[in-house]
């Protein structure tokens, strides 16, 4: 039997809806990744100050906060990190119009999405992950 070793990602999930946050957490844990979850923008900022994450998954609309602003702030400070923006309200065009460039480090998923779609995005991030990251 052949086995492929995929390096575990350290993931920060920023989602203000508890059920969605818990579902995302369970999915990433099930795929073997380390997960930290934040319910607010303030909590996410606190967590990113003391930790390094390989992947940040954030909703756009955070109760009293903006996930796009979080990505704009962290992307230049974390050149090895990847970012996944999720939203049920805005589309890819609006994400691109916000000054962010969707590419190898930044992906977008429209809610609701299938776990298989999420897993495909994570696999893409893993393929393009810079050498030397864990």
What pLDDT sits at residue 5?
Answer: 45
Please give the pLDDT value at position 101: 66
pLDDT in tens, the chain (134 residues): 333 445 689 999 999 999 999 999 999 999 999 999 999 999 999 999 988 999 999 999 898 888 989 998 898 888 889 999 999 877 666 766 655 666 778 888 999 999 999 999 999 888 877 665 44
Q: Which residues make beta-bridge pairs with 38?
A: 14
3-state secondary structure of 90: coil
Contact 44, 70 (CB under 8 A): yes
| pTM given for the model | 0.86
Q: Which residues contact 59 (CB under 8 A, 6 or more apart)?
A: 14, 15, 16, 17, 20, 67, 85, 86, 87
Q: How far is CA 48 from the centre of its chain?
A: 13
CATH of 10-31+44-127, one of 3.40.1380.10, 3.40.50.2300, 3.30.420.40, 3.40.1360.10: 3.40.50.2300
String of DSSP letters for 20-84: HHHHHHHHHHHTT-EEEEESSHHHHHHHHHH---SEEEEESEETTEEHHHHHHHHHHH-TT-EEE
Q: 71-81, pLDDT tens digit by residue?
A: 988 988 888 89
């Amino acid at each position: 039997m052949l086995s492929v070793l995929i390096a575990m990602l350290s993931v920060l999930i920023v989602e203000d809806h508890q059920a969605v946050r818990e579902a995302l957490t369970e999915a990433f844990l099930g795929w073997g990744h380390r997960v930290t979850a934040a319910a607010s923008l303030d909590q996410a900022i606190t967590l990113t100050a003391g930790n390094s994450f390989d992947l940040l998954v954030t909703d756009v609309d955070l109760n009293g906060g903006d996930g796009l602003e979080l990505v704009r702030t962290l992307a230049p400070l974390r050149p090895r990190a990847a970012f996944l923006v999720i939203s049920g309200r805005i589309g890819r065009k609006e994400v691109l119009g916000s000054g962010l460039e969707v590419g190898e480090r930044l992906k977008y998923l429209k809610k609701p999405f299938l776990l298989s779609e999420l897993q495909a995005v994570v696999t893409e991030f893993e393929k393009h992950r810079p050498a030397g990251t864990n």
